[in-house]
Each structure stands twice: as structure tokens, then as C-alpha cells.
A and B are shown apart, each in its own frame.
Chain A
Amino acid sequence: MKQSAVLTALLAATLGLAARAADVPEFQLVIKNHSYTPAELKVPADTKFKLVVKNEDDTPEEFESTDFSRETVVLPNHTVVVYVGPLRAGTYGFFGDFHRDTAQGRLIVQ
């Protein structure tokens, strides 16, 4: 049991490094006045991609999505990189957990 877990972890780490080396498409999101620009972002289906989220407000925000399971704090005037997918075609919501009433957006995966 333990051995197989160690092997799994090693395999996982190797795959992880290999995946990181490959080039992945990049998309930008900007948080300003507690809302996302663009509020709708088109991304390719069945492809892993990189979301670069920039917070231009002077308050922290948490970029979050329950639809595609991501959660990361973006400090004021900071940029974070979040890897997403591969996702099947469809619409996936995301939001800013610290300003849910205004910070809403969605990914159009096609």
C-alpha cells in the first residue's frame, strides 16, 4: 500500500513537471472596481489553459469558481496565474468571493 502510494506520488510529480514544460494558451482577466473584465471569456474546449488574473483594486479579492473548482487570493495590484481545464464545452461561472454581488463572470468554453 505504502509503496504504491510512493510510486503514484513519483509518477504524479513527473507528469506534473512534463505538463508544466508544455506551452499552454494564456488568457487575461482584470479585476477593477470589484468586477471582472472581460465578464465573459471565450476559451478552447478540451485544452488546459492559463488564466492570468490581475487585481487593479486596492483591496484583496479571491478569484473563485465552484464550476471549475479554483480558488486563489489576488492581492491588491497583484497578478496570479491559475491553470484551468481541460474543460468540456459549456459555460462555467466564476466570481470574486470577497465581492460576490459585483464580481461575477463566466467562461464560454467552445
Chain B
Amino acid sequence: MLAVALLVFREVLEAALIISIVCAATRGVPRRGRYVFGGIGLGLAGAVLVALGADFISNLAGGAGQDIFNASVLLAAVVMIAWHVVWMSSHGRELAKEMQGVGGAVKAGSKSLSLLLTVVGLAVLREGSEIVLFLYGMAVGGIAAASLAGGIAVGVCAGAALGFALYFGLLRVPMKHFFSVTNVMLILLAAGLAAAAAGFLVQSDLLPTLGSRLWDTSGLVSDDSLIGRTLGVLVGYKAAPSGIQVGFYLCTLALLYAGMRWQQHRNS
């Protein structure tokens, strides 16, 4: 049961942190809950489909299918986040104003909602498909149904609890700075996802490494630790990144920041 709980926890944690940031970023948008649950539901359905089609996916592109698929899912999320961040920077201020005003009747936000719903769906799909494959293996291995169910329950609850903690922590940020903070978090999240995508393409040799371990801080915070995993999602932390990953990370940061500033400039 412990092995099940631990694996489920690790995967759920990553998705939960992403969902929390998205929830914070869409604070005050009407019918947000429906979108977020819709995203999770679609993601779960997608996860089962991906697990069922894992054989097909892995055989694509001469065996590089799995890496290309993972990289595509991550990059699609990056594009959605970029779109939202750039769009929000032109509307964030009025959004914040309206929210403080008339009970948060924010129509504007719902435009961006479907983008972020997709980000939630993609996060659940990616982490979920791993859980499905793992659980399938456990079931074939003849694990008792009670341990399986218990492990899943503990893992999901623990992962979700940390997600909620992040969300309620973010809600304490003063309204004046709130959307600036969530935008920065989204940009860092996107940069980390882009770097992770580069990692998948490197392991299939579709991108050059440009230096396989530029530095190594695993003695300080290991990628496999709870803090390492959390920082991995929140700021794209990687103990020993490759050059191409650092490049993807910095390019994404620069592009999103420039896009955001450009929009702000246009609207001022």
C-alpha cells in the first residue's frame, strides 16, 4: 500500500500544484469551479486513453513517440499559459478593480478560462496516465484490492492537501498585487514546463544536450525530494539541468515577460 500511496502522491502533487496556480490565477471568474472540474475530468479520461494507447504512442516516430508526445503536451500547456499571461496583462488591472467593486462580476476572465482549463486537463492527463500504467501493473501483479484502494486514497488526499495549502496561501496575497503574483507564478511554471519538454526531446536525441549537467545542486535539494519536486513545478527547479533546458527556460521567461510588458505598454 505504501508503494502505491507514494507513487500516486508524487504524481498527484505535481498536477495539484499546477491546478492551484490556475485556480488562483482565475480567482473571481464566474463558473470557474465548473471549468476546473471539467478540466480534471477531461484530463482523467485522457489519462486512461493515453494509457490504453501507450503501445501505439510509443511506437510512433521510430520509437521516439512517447518523448515527442510528452514534449508536445508540455509545450501545449506552455502556449496556453503564454496566451493567458499576455492577455491578462491587458485586462488584469480592470479585473482587479471590478472584483473589489461589484461582488466580482467578471465577464472578462471567462475568455481566458478555457485556456487555463486546458492547462489543468493536460497536467492531469500527463500525471494521470503514469498512475494508470502503474496501477495496471500493480493489479496484474496481484495486489490486494484493499491496499490498492487505500494507497490511491492516501496518495490523492496527501497530494491534493498540498495543492490546497498552496492555493489558500496564495489567497493571502493582497488584492493589489494578486494578479501580478499569479502571473509571475504562471510564467515560472511555463518556463519549467518548457525545460521539461526539452528534456524529453534530448533523451530521444531530437535536440542536442548543449552540456549535459551544467551544474549540480542535488547535494542541496535533490529532484527526488518533496521540496525538489515542489520547486520543480513552481519554479522549474532542476538540480543538474542540461544546457538546452536552461536555454528553453530562459527563452520562455524572456518571451512571456516581453509579451506581458508589450501588452501593458499597448494598453497604457
Contact = CB atoms under 8 A, between A and B. Distances in A.
A12 B207 contact: yes
B251 A8 contact: yes
Given A8-B247, A15-B208, A16-B205, A60 B133 contact: yes
B137 interface: yes
Contact of A73 (B58, B63, B199, B213): B58
5 contacts: A66-B223, A80-B63, A82-B203, A86-B209, A97-B134
A20 B137 contact: no
A108 to B, nearest CB: 17
A51 to B, nearest CB: 9
B73 to A, nearest CB: 14
Given A1-B254, A73-B133, A100-B3, A48 B209 contact: yes
Contacts of A80: 58, 63, 66
A2 B209 CA distance: 22
A66 B221 CA distance: 12
Contacts of A2: 255
A59 to B, nearest CB: 3
Interface centre among B137, B138, B204, B255, by most A CB within 10 Å?
B137
B208 A75 contact: no
Contacts of B100: none
Contacts of B66: 72-73, 80
A26 interface: no
B136 interface: yes
Interface of B: 3, 6-7, 54-55, 58, 63, 66-67, 130, 133-134, 136-138, 140-141, 199, 201-210, 212-213, 218, 222-224, 238-242, 244, 247, 251, 254-255, 258
A69 B238 contact: yes
Given A66-B222, A69-B242, 20 more contacts: A1-B254, A5-B251, A5-B255, A12-B247, A15-B210, A16-B205, A60-B54, A60-B136, A60-B137, A69-B240, A70-B203, A72-B203, A73-B66, A73-B130, A73-B133, A81-B204, A86-B212, A88-B213, A98-B137, A99-B3
A27 interface: no
A81 B63 contact: yes
Contacts of B134: 60, 62, 97-98
Size bin of chain A's contact surface: 35 or more
A15 B34 CA distance: 45
A30 interface: no
A61 B213 contact: no
Interface string A5-30: 10010001101100110000000000
Given A66-B224, A75-B54, A98-B137, A83 B130 contact: no
A16 B206 contact: yes
B203 A83 contact: yes
A29 to B, nearest CB: 14
Contacts of A16: 201, 205-208
A75 B141 CA distance: 14
A78 interface: yes
B136 A72 contact: no
A85 interface: yes
Contacts of A66: 218, 222-224, 239
A1 B255 CA distance: 7
A72 B7 contact: no
Interface centre among B63, B130, B136, B208, by most A CB within 10 Å?
B208
Contacts of B254: 1, 5
